[in-house]
Amino acid sequence: MAKAIKSTDFNFPGQRGKYEGKVRDVYNIGEEYLVIVASDRISAFDHILPRAIPYKGQVLNQTSSFYFDAAKELVPSHVLAVPDPNVTIGLKCKPILIEVVVRNYLAGHAWRTYNSGLRELCGVALPEGLKESDKLPEPIITPATKSMIGHDEDISEREILKSGLLEAEEWAQVKHYALELFKKGTELAAKQGLILVDTKYEFGTHDGKIYLIDEIHTPDSSRYYYAEGYEERQSKGERQKQLSKEFVREWLMANNFQGLDGQTMPDMPDDFLGQITDRYIELFETVTGRGFEKADTSNIEERIMDNVVPALKELM
């Protein structure tokens, strides 16, 4: 089995600190830059699973790179360079602590809310008579506060403005960017026979300007349905065929784990790790329309240093 990146401990030129997220290790470089290493860690139910998935980080980083490039005319992004399959060098932005979730279908959290009897999500009214996976009248934005630990919490536009998280003009710009990005993602997905169901975007500011940060349209941040057969499955009340990491959550649930108190994380056998790797590669190839070239994992740390250091020197 190929090697996987579970944790990193680099010392890049100009490095001033490091932050470990659920998936990404972020290195602060001087005053202006971030080196963002997409590890092979995988999380579900707000827990990091004990084993890393070979090539998962490469899939996330290169999927994001594909979509950042596709969206470069729509919104400023933090991306400055992608020197390694697992690494993006970005402009250091101050994160806006709001996850901007755009939904065009009733799925996931939105469906669970609707199915509970509620007809409003994040201050947005939902029409009566919908069933799971139905298309909404138009894309809606359902924000959540960005939590560094624990669960993110739904928040309405009214609460965002009242709390001072963003000024009205800033929030209007963020909403505009999010809807334009979702429109672009929907168009690109359709070319690949996919439906972009929902996704989340994150933004930051630098010198008073709003930038798209983090990741975009990856299998970790987005849900896709296969377009072929969608209408037939809906008419029959069947579950939609998804392209996401939902299969990992389903495996965990089948092994009695949903992240609840008192539950024990199940061991992940080698064959299941291999299945996850294969599914992530399939996700990359289906979403982007490109073939996936597995990076050399024989000495990942050396490879990353060899690729990142010259790129940093060009910027600094």
Model pLDDT for residues 286-296, shown as the tens digit of each residue: 999 999 999 99
Buried b (16+ CB within 10 A) or exposed e, 54-88: bbbbbbbbbbbbbbbebbeeebbbbbbbbbbbbbb
The arithmetic mean of pLDDT across residues 277-284, rounded, is: 93
Percent of the chain with pLDDT over 90: 88
Region 223-250 average pLDDT = 93
Decide which of 315 and 46 is more confident. 315
pLDDT score, position 151: 56
How confident is residue 46, by pLDDT bands cut at 50, 70 and 90?
Answer: confident
Average of pLDDT values for 58-83? Answer: 97
Q: Are 138 and 71 in contact (CB under 8 A)?
A: no
Q: Which amino acid is at 239?
A: R
Burial of 128 per CB tally in 10 Å (0-12, 13-18, 19+): exposed
**pLDDT given at position 111:** 96
Mean pLDDT of the chain: 94
Q: Three-class SS of residue 234? A: helix
In the chain, what is the straight-line distance between the N-terminal and C-terminal CA atoms, in Å? 37
For the segment 203-232, what is each residue's pLDDT rounded down to a tens digit?
999 999 999 999 999 988 999 999 999 999
Burial class (CB in 10 A: 0-12, 13-18, 19+), 129: exposed
Per-residue confidence (pLDDT) for residue 213, from 0 to 100:
96
What confidence category does residue 8 fall into, taking pLDDT thresholds of 50, 70 and 90?
Answer: very high
Confidence at 45, pLDDT banded by 50, 70, 90: confident
* Strand partners for 167: none
Number of CB atoms found within 10 A of residue 142's CB: 22
- CA dihedral (263, 269, 270, 275) in degrees, to 10, reads -70
From the candidate CATH numbers 1.10.150.530, 1.10.150.120, 3.40.50.300, 3.30.470.20, the one assigned to the domain spanning 95-243: 3.30.470.20
Instruction: Please tell me what DSSP assigns to residue 46.
Output: T
Q: Is the pLDDT of residue 149 over 50?
A: no
283 in Cβ contact with 186 (< 8 Å)? no
Among 57, 18, 10, residue whose Cα is nearest residue 34: 18
pLDDT of res. 70:
96
Q: How far apart are CA 269 and CA 192, in angstroms?
A: 32
- 8 A C-beta contact, residue 122 and residue 99: no
Between helix 270-288 and helix 246-254 the angle, nearest 10°, is 160
Mean pLDDT for 34-61 is 94
| Rounded Cα–Cα distance for residues 48 and 275 (Å) | 18
Torsion, CA 113, CA 48, CA 174, CA 74, rounded to 10: -120
Output the pLDDT for position 147: 60
Mention every residue, 6+ apart, whose C-beta is less than 8 A from residue 71: 77, 181, 184, 212, 216
Burial grade of 2 (CB within 10 A; 0-12, 13-18, 19 or more): middle
CA distance 104 to 101: 10
Give the pLDDT mean for 278-288.
Answer: 93
